[in-house]
Amino acid sequence: MSAKVGFIGLGIMGRPMAGHLARAGHDVVVFTRTRDKASALLAEGVEWRDSPAALAADRDVVFLCVTDTPDVENVLFGADGVAGSIRAGSVVVDHSTIAPAGARAFAERLAGQGVAMLDAPITGGEIGAQNATLTIMVGGDAAAFQRVEPLLKTMGRTVRHVGPSGAGQALKACNQILCAVNVMGVCEAILLARQSGIDPATAIETLGGGAGGSWAWTQLGRKIVDGDLNPAFMIRLMQKDLRIVQSAAQENGVPLPGTALAQQLFRAVESRDAGGDLGTQAMIRAYEGMMG
């Protein structure tokens, strides 16, 4: 059954996600700050709207995929924001990675207008967005989740309701801990293999199926060996996420020494030659710097 949906934010992740919704036969309209990013979708027949408010006015479901907590707040409640026009009974689905406390606060504000908001952060990277194989972890009202679940399944392989408002963002914070700490392990293992006279490519192939194997080992490890530091996910965005992680940890009284070390290593890369725009596998530069 076709749904009337809007999609705000057409970056690396949002653009293919909106495309999947359109190609599934839904009535999709889009808005993003830079209209050129929508050009491929517009060529496929997707409609453009000039503001979040114009987009939301006649939509049943509005998807967001922007950068940070203040960006979500501005899109929702700023001038020409979604909240100014969205109809009671509609659902907002936020795929951004933001603070769990922010997700809860925004959901409460929209609930006052009769609008449900789900925090639905994603993981799986650009390839996952392109191939509709994302993992989507959803917090918020269970009935609202059931309404939009078929739409989410056009964009993701694993779609799961994980708890009340803010729970999706809290679980995404856990995911980012795993991502950051795994990169440390990958860098250290590659360097030890190299210094021990073992071909790192052989190490990756041999250990990939073992107890220490991981997505980071096989995917990011191979990029490191190939000298490919181009971003699937930029260090500066990971650092933004890790600040959210540490804030959530402080709120809940959880020590995260491994995560703190990963932040420092990423910071060392950020401080050199626009390193924040490199992929997270560029953490290897921090280790190489320590080795001289």
Domain end call among 135, 164, 193:
164
Q: Specify whether 65 is located in the same domain as 181.
A: no
At residue 99, the pLDDT reads 96
Six token digits for residue 244: 């959210």
> In this predicted structure, what is the pLDDT of residue 135?
98
- Mean pLDDT, the chain, as a whole number? 97
> 114, 145, 164: which is the final residue of a domain?
164
Chain Cα centroid distance, residue 55: 22
Do 156 and 193 belong to one domain? no
Residues 196 and 210 in one domain: yes
- Least Cα distance to 31 among 61, 58, 56 occurs for 56
- Within 146-268, strands assigned E span 156-163
Asked whether residue 8 falls in the same domain as residue 153, the answer is yes
SS3 210: coil
Give the CATH number of the domain where residue 278 resides.
1.10.1040.10
CA dist 216 and 181 (Å) reads: 10
Report how far residue 193's alpha carbon sits from residue 211's, in angstroms, rounded to the nearest whole number.
17
- The pLDDT assigned to 272 comes to 87
Statement to judge: residues 158 and 225 lie in one domain:
no
Do both 121 and 94 map to the same domain?
yes
Determine the Cα–Cα distance for residues 63 and 16; give it in Å rounded to an integer: 13
DSSP 87: P
Same domain, 279 and 148: no
Q: How far is the C-alpha of 49 from the C-alpha of 7, rounded, in Å? A: 10
Domain membership of residue 34 as a residue range: 4-164
Do both 68 and 148 map to the same domain?
Answer: yes
- Phi and psi, residue 123, nearest 5°: -145, 150
Are residues 25 and 140 located together in one domain of the fold? yes
Residue type, 55: L
Q: Do 144 and 44 share a domain, yes or no?
A: yes
Annotate 142-172 with DSSP letters as a single string. HHHHHHHHHHHTTTEEEEEEEESTTHHHHHH
**CATH (domain of 62):** 3.40.50.720
Q: pLDDT of 199-216, one tens digit each?
A: 999 999 999 999 999 999
Whose tokens are 């999706």? That residue is 168
pLDDT, residue 274, reads 84
What's residue 273's pLDDT?
Answer: 78
Q: What is the pLDDT of residue 208?
A: 96
Residues taking part in catalysis: 172
- The segments of the chain whose pLDDT lies below 50 read none
Work out the burial of residue 88: count CB atoms within 10 Å of its CB; fewer than 13 is exposed, 13-18 middle, 19 or more buried.
exposed
The total of structural domains in the chain comes to: 2
Task: Specify the pLDDT at position 133.
Answer: 98
